[in-house]
Structure 1
Amino acid sequence: IDRATNRPSRFPDGDIDAHAFIRVERQTLRKLPVSRDILFTIRIHLDPLAVLARHPDRAKLAASFAAQLEALDLAQLDYKGLTSDRDRLVDRLGVLALS
């Protein structure tokens, strides 16, 4: 259990590869031609960590994801539910970054 938030780990059995997902959002703005209104869209990509491990650019991507996780402050980690698991995720991404 994370003492700062009293939230349990998302990966209680220690198998991050089996439970962790990478979530990436692509946000776009488009002006509609007739009404000239602005349309905001979000496309969410949600893939298991195993997909990243097979990606040809896994080293670069894993290093980038690890750096982003390390840059989150406590409030951001709590909001994302990652307070108790960040270090383990960063370690796993570090291994992928070296492969």
Structure 2
Amino acid sequence: MLEKRVKSVEAENTSLLKIVEADQTKIDILKVKVATLEEEKAHRDEQNKYFKLKNKELEVVNARKEHEIYMLNKVLENLPGKWVEQRFEKIKVEEVRAKRQDEIDAKMKD
């Protein structure tokens, strides 16, 4: 009777050991996945730092350009009106000519 009980407990123990082994394998797999995800996160954090710095640089450049445009507008406001209007019209005419030439070139290719 005692021998049967011992064999039953040993069988149960063996079964539990197999379950523990399977669980440990799952744990090991999850540890590898966690390590991979942590590496990816570290890489993305570094990228984010780089892009934040790049963004700040671009904001500075943009602010400088906006200031230059503001200054140019102020200078243009103080120039005699006809000169500005004449120059603007000349630029518009050049743009229209360039656009028409592009259209003609496109039609010639067809």
Give me the TM-score of the superposition, normalised by structure 2.
0.21
Give me the TM-score of the superposition, normalised by structure 1.
0.23
Determine which structure has the larger strand proportion and give its number.
1
